[in-house]
Amino acid sequence: MPADSAASAARTASAARATDAATTPGPRAASTRERILDAATARFYEQGIRATSADRVIDDVGITKVTFYRHFRTKSDLVVAYLQRQAEGEREWMRTARSDGDPVASLHALAAGIGAASCRPGFRGCPFINAAAEFADADDPVRAAVEEHRRWTAEEFAAIATEADVDDPEAVAGQLQLLRDGAMVNGYLSDPAAIAGALDAAFTAVLARASGHDSARSANTQEK
């Protein structure tokens, strides 16, 4: 395998592992706070946030209410901490998938990672979209945590679009994020195996169209 192909394959595999880690509750040896977060992550992601009571998490961890509320004053605080943990995982994944200076390779890796996560047993979609669906109040701290991460994601997509030298990176970022959201939802509504290919094609089409418009506009300007 050529060196560049091997590197690309390694990035794709790493991105897939990171995506899986970002959405899969994993064992953490750690403190009581981490154990609470582990239990909450499993319950919130698999069963829903509102369907999971603080008492259910307390029972799962095997602690007292006093201990629970020493770490999280309210269930809302726990939900925000859960989303912050998910955000850390997804940000690590996106950074791993990015190929600086090569926007097409970055989008290929992102599509592959999302497709791999969608094929995983137990996949329940994007935890941020799920949380937003359960918390409609824009002033809720949970929605604020969702919006903070989505702003970060949009900035990452805008950075990729900027590398492609498009005229309006923010507009392209919005389109890429919309495609990403659709793929995450369709991952458990349709054939997960087709998600990566469809998303990759859509990502590439958006980037090519934006870059093509810029090239045509530049050529027209030079002719004048």
Domains parsed from the chain with CATH numbers: 3-24+75-216 (1.10.357.10)
Predicted local distance difference test score (pLDDT) of residue 196: 86
Rg (CA), the chain: 20
- Give the integer Cα–Cα distance in Å for 142 and 7: 38
Confidence of residue 57 (pLDDT cuts 50, 70, 90): very high
Beta strands, E only, the chain: none
Question: What is the DSSP secondary-structure string of 30-86?
Answer: --HHHHHHHHHHHHHHHH-STTS-HHHHHHHHT--HHHHHHH-SSHHHHHHHHHHHH
Confidence of residue 117 (pLDDT cuts 50, 70, 90): confident
**Per-residue pLDDT averaged across 111-136, rounded?**
91
Higher pLDDT, 212 or 200: 200
Could you tell me the pTM of the whole model?
0.79
Predicted local distance difference test score (pLDDT) of residue 119: 79
Q: Is 50 exceeded by the pLDDT of residue 109?
A: yes
Confidence of residue 122 (pLDDT cuts 50, 70, 90): confident
Predicted local distance difference test score (pLDDT) of residue 38: 97
Q: What number of other Cβ atoms are within 10 A of residue 37's Cβ?
A: 24
Confidence of residue 219 (pLDDT cuts 50, 70, 90): very low
What rounded mean pLDDT belongs to the chain?
Answer: 84
Q: Is 50 exceeded by the pLDDT of residue 46?
A: yes
Q: Is 70 exceeded by the pLDDT of residue 220?
A: no
DSSP structural state of residue 187: T
**Per-residue pLDDT averaged across 22-33, rounded?**
57
